[in-house]
Amino acid sequence: MQRARSKLFDILLAVWTGLFAPALAILWICGSPERGVRAGSRLWARGVLVGLKWFVGLTYLERDRHNIPDEPCLIIANHQSTWETLAFLVLFPNVAIIAKQELLTIPIFSWFLRKSPMILIDRESGSKAVRKMIDESRTALAQGRSVLIFPEGSRKPASEPIEFKRGVELLYTKLDRVVLPVALNSGLFWEPNRSYKRAGTISVSYLSPIEPGLPGNDFTRKAEQLLEAERRISRPSYPLRNCPDNASAAPMIMS
């Protein structure tokens, strides 16, 4: 039954995404205004989360929202699933996500990535990619947008220890901003290599912010330890009455 529910969601996701083709055309005619594009992407993501709740039985619970800084910040999160790349559009409406350029091959979705705009990096370009990431992150922060990066670089199974790539250390030292670590256990329910999605409640935990000014290696060690400690205590849970289309309600958290 769970496999069938998951497959039905996959079909409806394709249909829901296709319905945004006319919206894309309208936004293009209007000059692709960034606010309009971001509003459209949030609407799409909310629809996906509602679909997961009703067809798969997969919801989420946010914890410790009081840890979210009042000012734009650097958000770091462990990466276990496709789920968080969608959910962050709802949890942080104006976030600028640092994403791999390969995502530009996805129809419709790639247009929204370009026009939101997100920070798209060609990981094969080495130091050039790092400079682009830092420069565009500074621009986003200056515009009042928080910046999100998945420091592990790619999705990892929920059972694997957390280990950062070096890029996040450079961002921390160059941006001089408060860092919000967000811990997720989405891989327990939506695994990259599993053919179906499980029902349950994803935990999104906003951990204690890390202030700027630490040496880069000290920051990396502290951030990894915070996320790893939360990963070790994460366990599957049964669905709660927590609706994805009310992401601002407390108590909820996403990690």
Sequential DSSP letters for 62-80: EE-GGGS-SS--EEEE---
pLDDT at 108 (0 to 100):
67
Q: What is the pLDDT of residues 50-60, one digit of tens each?
A: 999 999 999 99
Whole-angstrom Cα distance, residue 110 to residue 95? 16
- Could you confirm whether domain 2-246 is CATH 3.40.1130? yes
Whole-angstrom Cα distance, residue 173 to residue 229? 24
Sequential DSSP letters for 144-171: T--EEE-TTSS---TTSPP---THHHHH
Whole-angstrom Cα distance, residue 197 to residue 5? 9
- Amino acid symbol at 163: E
Residue spans of the domains in the chain: they are 2-246
Q: What is the pLDDT of residues 135-153, one digit of tens each?
A: 999 999 999 999 999 999 8
pLDDT at 51 (0 to 100):
95
**Per-residue CA distances from 83 to 10, 27, 86, 142, 203 (Å):** 13, 26, 5, 28, 12
Categorize the per-residue pLDDT at 251 as very low, low, confident or very high, splitting at 50, 70 and 90: very low
Q: What is the pLDDT of residues 61-113, one digit of tens each?
A: 999 999 999 999 999 999 999 999 889 999 998 899 998 877 767 666 677 77
pTM, rounded to two decimals: 0.85
Interval 204-211 mean pLDDT: 97
